[in-house]
Amino acid sequence: MTSSPASKRQKHSSASPSPPYELLYWPTIPGRGEHIRLCFEETQTPYTDTCNADPQTGPQTLRSLISGANDGDATNPPPLAPPALRHGDLLLSQTPNILLYLGPKLGLAGPGGGDGDAVYHVNQLALTALDGLSDEAHDTHHPVATGAYYEDQKEEAKRKAADYISNRLPKFLGYFERVLRGEASGGGEWLYGGQLTYADLVLWQCVDGVSFAFPVAVKQMREGGKYGRVFGLYERVKGRENIAAYLKSGRRQKYSMGIYRHYPELDAEEV
């Protein structure tokens, strides 16, 4: 994608043209940056993915941004960690915060376009998916120390992953199943208000990531039939024209050693 000014999809922004969007995130993995990418891709909004665009200078830019020597600038506090989003003079970090900012601008914040209370429901759903299906999924392979090697916490990781598969994953999938069954979903196709929001894109990426990390466990849950609405939404997002084209493109990074990692010894056993 190019970094040209905003497309016509940005109907919720002010009359003056929107400055270009720049995503700053580690290259070569989907990671937390993927939630931001999916919003741009679904809405065909031009953006620059700095580190993937230039694997030489991009990561240097990102590293200086999150360096302990950076105190931020006149209006922006420093980011602690990526992803960060630059939009004109604004620099934001924290995945759910960036999504909250983009949601109304890209038409992904639910009925009312960010003017009413729908955006708080969408934010709630995105936060919950990120908690249980991204942060907790990460912690299964790093339960003791984020900065240490997996191999040095492998036994703890086995216990953590077993608990995740038995208790936490069903809890969160069951929650989203209820959300889709509920009236506020507006028919059960999407999580809130009968239309695609960024919460749906977040849930899709989370379910996709968890499916990579724990293919056997997720296959069993899927075949168990208790989460039909969640997997229905998953297929629905995956089949959307812009998302499907993105997933086939070189812009979609492969899972490897990021948030979602596939260690067979942490997955459920085939039955």
Specify the residue, 171 or 242, whose C-beta has the smaller distance to a copy of itself.
Answer: 171
**Are the CB atoms for 232 and 178 separated by under 8 Å?**
no
| Chain contacts with a copy of itself (rule: CB under 8 A) | 68, 70-80, 90, 92-94, 96-97, 100-101, 117, 120-121, 123-125, 127-128, 132, 135, 139, 143-148, 153, 156, 159-160, 163, 167-168, 171-172, 174-175, 178-179, 181-185, 191-192
Specify the residue, 124 or 220, whose C-beta has the smaller distance to a copy of itself.
Answer: 124
Smallest separation (angstroms) from a copy of itself to the CB of 234: 18
Smallest separation (angstroms) from a copy of itself to the CB of 147: 6
Q: Which residues contact 246 (CB under 8 A, 6 or more apart)?
A: 37, 38, 41, 42, 252
DSSP character for 192?
A: S
Specify the residue, 143 or 209, whose C-beta has the smaller distance to a copy of itself.
Answer: 143
Smallest separation (angstroms) from a copy of itself to the CB of 170: 11
Smallest separation (angstroms) from a copy of itself to the CB of 203: 12
Smallest separation (angstroms) from a copy of itself to the CB of 241: 27
Query: Residue 6 is which amino acid?
Result: A
Specify the residue, 15 or 80, whose C-beta has the smaller distance to a copy of itself.
Answer: 80
Smallest separation (angstroms) from a copy of itself to the CB of 56: 27
C-alpha–C-alpha distance, residues 166 and 144, integer Å: 20
Smallest separation (angstroms) from a copy of itself to the CB of 237: 18
Specify the residue, 135 or 267, whose C-beta has the smaller distance to a copy of itself.
Answer: 135
**Are the CB atoms for 252 and 30 separated by under 8 Å?**
yes
Q: Residue with structure tokens 């720049």?
A: 22
Specify the residue, 1 or 119, whose C-beta has the smaller distance to a copy of itself.
Answer: 119
For 102-129, give the secondary structure using H, E and C: HHHHHCCCCCCCCCCCHHHHHHHHHHHH
3-state secondary structure of 258: coil
Specify the residue, 1 or 122, whose C-beta has the smaller distance to a copy of itself.
Answer: 122
Specify the residue, 53 or 162, whose C-beta has the smaller distance to a copy of itself.
Answer: 162
Angle at 83 between CA 2 and CA 11, to 5 degrees: 50
Instruction: Name residue 47's beta-bridge partners.
Output: 21
Smallest separation (angstroms) from a copy of itself to the CB of 244: 27
**Are the CB atoms for 36 and 70 separated by under 8 Å?**
no
For 199-226, give the secondary structure using H, E and C: HHHHHHHHHHHHHHHCHHHHHHHHHHCC
3-state secondary structure of 84: strand
